[in-house]
Amino acid sequence: MSSFAKEGSATGGVLLVAGCCIGAGMLGLPVVSALTGFIPASLILIASCFVMICTGLLVLELTLSFDHEVSLISMAKATLGQTGKFLTWILFILLFYCILVAYASGSGEIVANGFHKLNIPISHSFGSLFSMSLVACLIYLGTHAIDRLNRILMIGLVAAYGILILLGMPNIEMQSLHEKEWSTAFATVPLMLISFGHHNLIPSLTIYMKRNVSKLRLAIILGNLIPLGIYLLWEGVILGMLPLRNHPLFSETVQNQDMASGLLTHATGSPYILTAVNLFAFLAIATSLITTALSCIDFLSDGLSVKNEGKTRAYLCAAVLLSPLPFAVTYPHIFLTALGYAGGFITVILFGVLPALMAWRSRYHLKQTSPFVVRGGKTSLAIIMTIFFAIFILEIFRQFSMLM
């Protein structure tokens, strides 16, 4: 981890956490919420935000209990031993891989649709290969070039989101927002949990903010509440434009869709809204793919103790960005499925159960002290572990029932 010359601002910390949460996963939120309805989906979003803030604060407590720079992996080793370190390392690899498979699939669909509009028909598979190879080449050129490109893309992403919301709000049907189906609500949980993933940023954020507890706590709480507001508005606009459940177009609209852009293709005839949502989808995938790939390359470089330069960097870029292609090509509509596995299985353990378990070991077995302690004692830790473990078990049953 790099050190910072001066203490980072609270605003900067809030935006870093918010930026870490917001990604291409929000493209799938309206899709998983469409069958459930806006009201149940909103309540689950709020609950997901709350529990992820709680475990984020636990990671902050753990980070501050060490007087040296740490990562989630080194904290797992210190509190849970070599087994904890190995488990955390494997979970991170699986998390990165699932997310990259999802982005390879999503980018392939967007690129293929883009070429199709130019009357150049290409397959979904070629779109995935094209996008992942292009990003691999760009990342190989260096972080500084990618940083400048990513800033431009982020500006475009914010603009596209704003335009889409402004164009979509007059087309909202309030009756569509009042429809609900609680029996399908649990299916939304995995994607909603992963939409508030910020925990791996906290150790670096602690260094950036010079261990200022009040600023760090504010950054984690507000940094999650901002995405919550963005997601709720996004869900309201997209779901509000969908046809009613008893309308013949409803099943055609929501069936076999991976992203919000697919939903609106059937739901609205406005070319301006469709252009805005397609642009937003492209920019969301691009920014998320770049930042996730960079993080994964740095993670592998550090974990394998190899230099991230020259031929080694080329091999790392190829390993990270080309290895997801077999899944993305074989299963072209795996975007939501891959994100669902990442959220329902990996995130609940890595960012749910493990922080609470590490905090328990740190407080009550290793007797470590921290300038910040999450309230509630053993009861709150037990509740958090129970909630996330229950989600894990229920997701296993849900996936098993889908295969039957």
Domain assignment present for 2: no
Q: Which residue has the higher pLDDT, 95 or 5?
A: 95
Q: What is the pLDDT of residues 54-90, one digit of tens each?
A: 999 999 999 999 998 888 999 999 999 999 999 999 9
pLDDT category, 263, cuts 50, 70, 90?
confident
Is 217 domain-assigned? Answer: yes
Instruction: Give me the chain's average pLDDT, please.
Output: 90
Q: 335: domain CATH number?
A: 1.20.1740.10
- The Cα–Cα gap between 328 and 338 comes to 10
Q: Is the Cβ–Cβ distance between 70 and 204 less than 8 Å? A: no
Distances (CA, A) of 266 to 107, 112, 251, 271: 20, 18, 10, 12
Of residues 18 and 260, the one with the higher pLDDT is 18
Q: Identify whether 273 is part of a domain.
A: yes
Kindly tell me if the per-residue pLDDT of 1 is higher than 50. Answer: no
Instruction: Quick: pLDDT tens for 284-324.
Output: 999 999 889 988 888 888 778 888 888 898 999 999 999 99
Closest CA to 108 of 325, 314, 305, 297: 325
User: What pLDDT band is residue 257 in, cutting at 50, 70 and 90?
Assistant: low
Say how far apart CA 386 and CA 389 lie, in whole Å.
Answer: 5
Residue 171 within a domain: yes
Q: Using one digit for the tens of pLDDT, what is the confidence trace for 322-341? A: 999 999 999 988 999 999 99
Residue 245 has pLDDT above 80, yes or no: no
Distance CA 247, CA 245 (A): 5
Instruction: Find, among 87, 13, 30, the residue nearest to 232 by Cα.
Output: 30
CA pseudo-torsion sign 382, 385, 391, 392: negative
- What pLDDT was estimated at residue 186? 95
Q: Under a CB-based contact definition with an 8 Å cutoff, are residues 356 and 211 in contact? A: no
Three-state SS for 50? helix
134-184 confidence digits (pLDDT tens):
999 988 887 777 878 888 998 999 999 999 999 999 989 899 899 999 999
Residue 15 lies in a domain: yes
Amino acid in the structure at residue 349: I
pLDDT of residue 5: 57
CA dist., res. 337 & res. 123, Å (int): 20
Contact criterion met (CB below 8 Å) for 231 and 104: no
CB atoms within 10 A of CB 247: 12
Give residue 364's Cα distance to chain centre. 32
Which is nearest to 316 in space by CA: 293, 330, 297?
297
Query: Which of 50-59, 271-280, 386-395 shows the lowest per-residue confidence on average (mean pLDDT)?
Result: 271-280
Instruction: Report if residue 1 sits inside a domain.
Output: no
Range of the domain at 57: 10-403
| Residues 284, 154: Cα–Cα separation, whole Å | 8
- pLDDT for res 231: 96
- Number of domains forming the structure of the chain: 1
Look at residue 107 and tell me if it is in a domain: yes
pLDDT in tens, 81-127: 999 999 999 999 999 999 999 999 999 999 998 898 889 999 999 99
* Strand, coil or helix: 79: helix
Does residue 359 register a pLDDT over 80?
A: yes
Q: Which candidate, 161, 116, 127, places its Cα nearest to that of 283?
A: 161
Whole-angstrom distance, CA of residue 15 vs CA of residue 257: 31
- Quickly state the pLDDT bin for 248 (edges 50, 70, 90): low
Amino acid at 23: G
Average pLDDT over residues 202-209: 91
**Does a structural domain hold residue 311?**
yes
How open is the CA angle 13-16-17, to the nearest 5 degrees? 90
What number of residues does the chain have? 404
